[in-house]
């Protein structure tokens, strides 16, 4: 018997998208002087709004506004700065549905994720860091830690508002001021956040939002009056930033790509693990830097796990991001879709076996079915390169040592997963995996109190927790 | 008239993988004493020597990082003991090579011994100071702990003993291994220190010491894809420091930049030289029955 789902779309009446948006500088929306661009709904290809592009002079204006605001903001007693962050957290909670719907429209992610994951963690980030603002002397950097100054922050399109929160909340709590550039394809929630700053009466210039593409980001991170750079995005751009700031006094936090191994041993709780594998790679369409994109199965259970995994993949619902039943939404852009398609074709060409459940994809918009490759070897490009889409590569292993060897055989080192009922084996693996976050018998968990960030070419510095806070402070004189 | 005894002079070579090889290039350079008189022909390290040193350092990582912190602390303390017992030798060497007074040299040697003792004590405490449990909002055990970064290249500062010990001890005490490019001006003391390390239960490959020119060797270390981090403390040319930092971006090495001026090595250090070469790893596990 086949059950049909009735559509259950979330109303988009709650959001009011303006035809065009300017830049947010010194507390005001102002015109940009670059070539404006359009942001589209990736599920329908409908144009949502015209967005201003910040040119070098606009970026300079934003940095000047942040510099001017730094004096007052950094000297404001921490307990007063905290209250602004608490206010922002509260307004995010009050406007949470609006933010979630807008995020799903602009990004393509399912409403159940933007509503239940992204936006609640955004509010939690501001709450967590608000509480730090008047306790910085307890953060482990001595009696009188100081902010760096102006932070230039560039964020990606996969978690637009969440990445904004990861960047802005700790920066502000520590007394820095901010110029943030959201991703070209997902600017809308950052611009709504600018309105939230206005509602919170945040002093002008403390947060500035400059929209644009790579050129705007480059102008921002290389601006001579930016003291601290924070970037989340690709490893290639991360390296370019590291080169650009060489020889300066700028500090940097880089949160870059990943190719995480999700390792399943024969004694693992298999049904629970299958859920973890699915959320590990199909959460947010696989647009996750820490996605569990390499599944390492112990040989003796590989067939059983693959059968269960395929059955589970067959129940995933792809389609309208605003439908509350949707599991997998739209790929964020045509460009990203082309990249996923190209790598999937390379996977087939190199001899791996491709499988997707039968599923109907909408006729307009950018879509890619959940896909798994078996018979993958370590040399295959789909085992080495970050696909950043709903594509899982499956490899097998026999011994724990082989699993460690294969898991660490990558220039990345952001995250890893381990599934086993044996506690000592979890700790053995956790000890040896070269990854900044190890999820044991779980996957893709995030919390403002828990540091996140990578080893090796996944970048440096941490975000979240006491260690993340430290990235926005220097030891006092 | 009895003939005066002729000195038995020491040959200064490199220190790689627990052995003292000459430079594979067969090259050497003249090192003079503070008065300009010939002291020794030191080995002039090449690109190949740098690469050999990285291979040795990489090989030593699992064993050294896998030691208990208590054990690493004892080995650092042992280095301090052996250095202290050879204090007179180092005083004489510093007087001869740097031209400082014996009293000043004694101060440096004693401070170097004390610095090693200070860092030895950090071995089993740094994890408690910079790691912690995280109170996440869900039923999860969540723990962050520091781990060594891996292979760290160190361009040592001018201070041939105290400066060198002050940059080396914090790198290795947490479980990293090091490839050190000794002070170009005063290379010999670094090799004498290698003899101390060699007699102190430091496993071969944990510390590798090269002598030579910074501008020749440091770029190979900065661009080496199997080096995880680089300490530029001893780089005095800002242009070279920028080039090295840029090269280090090829595999996103953790970079400790050169200081604007030579630090006061006699001052008590902070823990930043420890934390600069550590990674925070966070482990999650659900809580349930």
CA distance B170 to chain A (A): 18
Of residues A74, A29, A41, the one with CA closest to residue A190: A29
Residue A1 has pLDDT above 80, yes or no: no
Quick: pLDDT tens for A108-130.
999 999 999 999 999 999 999 99
pTM for the whole structure: 0.97
Query: Average pLDDT, whole number, for chain B?
Result: 97
CB contact under 8 A, A450 and B251: no
CA–CA dist A435, A159 (Å, integer):
21
Mean pLDDT of A308-312: 98
pLDDT at B2: 64
A444/chain B closest Cα distance in angstroms: 10
CB count in 10 Å sphere of residue A435: 29
How confident is the model at residue A396, as a pLDDT?
98
Percent residues over pLDDT 70 in chain A: 99
CA distance A5 to chain B (A): 31
Nearest CA in chain B to A465: B134
The distance of B66 to chain A (nearest Cα, Å) reads 10
Angstrom distance (rounded) from CA B36 to CA B34: 6
pLDDT at A437: 98
**What is the ipTM score, two decimals?**
0.97
- Each residue's pLDDT tens digit, B160-203: 999 999 999 999 999 999 999 999 999 999 999 999 999 999 99
Shortest CA distance from A434: residue in chain B: B281
Q: Say yes or no: A285 contacts chain B, CB-CB below 8 A.
A: no
For chain A, domain boundaries: 20-256+456-474, 261-440
In chain B the domains, ranked by start, together with CATH numbers, are: 28-286 (3.40.605.10)
Q: What is the pLDDT of residue A321?
A: 98
In CATH, the architecture of A20-256+456-474 is 3-Layer(aba) Sandwich (3.40)
Q: Identify the pLDDT of residue B1.
A: 56
Q: Residue A247 and residue B280: Cβ atoms within 8 Å?
A: no
Alpha carbon distance, N-terminus to C-terminus of chain A:
72
What does the block give as tokens for A370? Answer: 């959940």
E-only strand ranges, B44-82: none
Chain B touched by A436 (CB under 8 Å):
yes
Q: What is the mean pLDDT of chain A?
A: 97
Q: Is the pLDDT of residue A477 over 70?
A: no
Q: Which residues of A are catalytic?
A: 255
In tens, the pLDDT along A234-254 reads: 999 999 999 999 999 999 999
| pLDDT at residue A139 greater than cutoff 60 | yes
Q: Tell me the C-alpha distance between B221 and B227, whole Å.
A: 7
Contacts of B248 in chain A (CB under 8 A): 242, 246
- Label residue A200 by pLDDT band (50, 70, 90): very high
Which of A252, A413, A448, A449 is the best mutation test for B, with the most CBs of B within 10 A? A449
A140-175 tens-digit pLDDT: 998 999 999 999 999 999 999 999 999 999 999 999
- Closest chain B CA to residue A462: B280
User: Which chain A residues are closer than 8 Å to B67 by Cβ?
Assistant: none
Q: What is the pLDDT of residues A40-62, one digit of tens each?
A: 999 999 999 999 999 999 999 99
| Tokens encoding B60 | 């030593």
Which CATH architecture best describes the domain A261-440? 3-Layer(aba) Sandwich (3.40)
- CB within 8 Å: B254 and A450: no
* Residue A384 burial (C-beta neighbours within 10 Å; 0-12, 13-18, 19+): middle
Q: B140 — contact with chain A (CB < 8 Å)?
A: yes
B251·A440 Cβ contact <8 A: no
Q: What is the pLDDT of residue B25?
A: 97
Which residue of chain A comes nearest to B225, CA vs CA? Answer: A411
Measured distance CA(A418)–CA(A395) in Å, rounded: 14
Q: Does residue A131 surpass a pLDDT of 60?
A: yes
């Amino acid at each position: 018997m086949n059950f049909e789902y009735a559509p259950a779309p979330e109303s988009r009446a709650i959001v009011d998208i303006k035809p065009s948006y300017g830049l947010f500088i010194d507390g005001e929306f102002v015109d940009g002087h670059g070539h404006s661009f359009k942001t589209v709904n990736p599920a329908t290809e409908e144009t949502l709004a015209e967005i201003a592009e910040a040119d070098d002079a606009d970026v300079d204006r934003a940095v000047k506004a942040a510099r001017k605001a730094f004096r007052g903001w950094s000297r404001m007693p921490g307990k007063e700065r905290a209250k602004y962050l608490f206010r922002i957290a509260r307004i995010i909670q009050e406007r949470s549905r609006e933010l979630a719907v807008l995020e799903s429209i602009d990004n393509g992610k399912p409403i159940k994720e933007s509503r239940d994951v992204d936006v609640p963690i955004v509010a939690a980030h501001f709450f967590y860091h608000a509480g730090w603002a008047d306790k910085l002397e307890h953060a482990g950097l001595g009696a009188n830690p100081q902010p760096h100054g102006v932070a230039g922050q560039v964020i990606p399109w996969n978690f637009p508002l969440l990445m904004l929160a990861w960047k802005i909340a700790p920066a502000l709590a520590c007394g820095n001021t901010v110029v943030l550039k959201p991703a070209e394809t997902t600017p809308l929630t950052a611009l709504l956040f600018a309105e939230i700053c206005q509602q919170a009466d945040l002093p002008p210039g403390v947060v500035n939002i400059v929209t644009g593409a790579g050129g705007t980001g480059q102008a921002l991170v290389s601006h001579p009056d930016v003291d601290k750079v924070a970037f989340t995005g690709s490893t290639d751009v991360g390296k370019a930033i590291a080169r650009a700031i060489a020889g300066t006094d700028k500090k940097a936090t880089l949160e870059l790509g990943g190719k995480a191994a999700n390792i399943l041993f024969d004694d693992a709780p298999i049904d629970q693990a299958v859920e973890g594998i699915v959320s590990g790679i199909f959460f947010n369409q696989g647009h996750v830097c820490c996605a569990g994109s390499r599944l390492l199965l112990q040989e003796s259970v590989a067939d059983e796990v693959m059968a269960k995994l395929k059955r589970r993949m067959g129940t995933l619902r792809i389609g309208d991001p605003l439908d509350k039943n949707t599991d997998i939404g739209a790929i964020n852009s045509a460009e990203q879709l082309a990249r996923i398609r190209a790598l999937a074709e390379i996977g087939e060409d190199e001899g791996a076996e491709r499988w997707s459940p039968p599923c109907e994809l909408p006729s307009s918009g950018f879509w890619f079915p959940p896909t798994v490759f078996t018979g993958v070897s370590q040399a295959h490009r789909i085992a080495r390169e970050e696909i950043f889409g709903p594509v899982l590569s499956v490899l097998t292993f026999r011994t724990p040592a082989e699993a460690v060897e294969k898991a660490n055989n990558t220039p990345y080192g952001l995250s890893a997963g381990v599934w086993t009922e044996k506690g000592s084996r979890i700790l053995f693996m956790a000890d040896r995996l070269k990854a900044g976050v190890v999820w044991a018998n779980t996957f893709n968990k995030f919390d403002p109190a828990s540091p996140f960030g990578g080893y090796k070419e996944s970048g440096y510095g941490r975000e979240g927790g006491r260690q993340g806070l430290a990235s926005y402070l220097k030891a006092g004189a | 008239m009895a003939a005066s005894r002729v000195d038995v002079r020491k040959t200064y070579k490199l220190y790689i993988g627990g052995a003292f090889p000459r430079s594979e290039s067969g090259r050497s350079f003249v090192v003079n004493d503070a008065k300009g008189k010939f002291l020794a022909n030191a080995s002039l390290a090449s690109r190949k020597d740098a690469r050999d040193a990285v291979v040795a350092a990489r090989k030593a990582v699992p064993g050294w990082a896998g030691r208990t912190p208590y054990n690493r602390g004892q080995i650092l303390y042992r280095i301090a003991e052996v250095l202290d017992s050879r204090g007179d030798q180092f005083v004489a060497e510093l007087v001869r090579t740097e031209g400082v007074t014996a009293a000043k040299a004694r101060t440096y040697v004693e401070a170097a011994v004390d610095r090693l003792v200070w860092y030895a004590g950090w071995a089993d405490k740094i994890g408690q100071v910079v790691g912690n449990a995280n109170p996440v909002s869900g039923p999860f055990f969540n723990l962050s702990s520091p781990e060594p970064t891996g292979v760290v290249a160190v361009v040592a500062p001018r201070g041939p003993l105290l400066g060198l010990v002050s940059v080396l001890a914090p790198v290795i005490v947490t479980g990293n291994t090091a490839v050190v490019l000794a002070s170009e001006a005063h290379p010999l003391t670094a090799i004498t220190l290698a003899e101390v390390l060699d007699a102190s239960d430091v496993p071969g490959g944990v510390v590798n010491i090269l002598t030579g020119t910074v501008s020749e060797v440091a770029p190979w270390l900065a661009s080496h894809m199997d080096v995880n981090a680089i300490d530029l403390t001893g780089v005095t040319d800002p242009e070279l420091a920028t080039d090295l930092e840029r090269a280090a971006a090829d595999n996103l090495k953790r970079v400790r930049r050169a200081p604007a001026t030579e630090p006061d090595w006699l001052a008590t250090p902070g823990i930043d030289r420890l934390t600069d070469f550590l990674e925070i790893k966070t482990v999650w596990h659900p809580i349930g029955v």
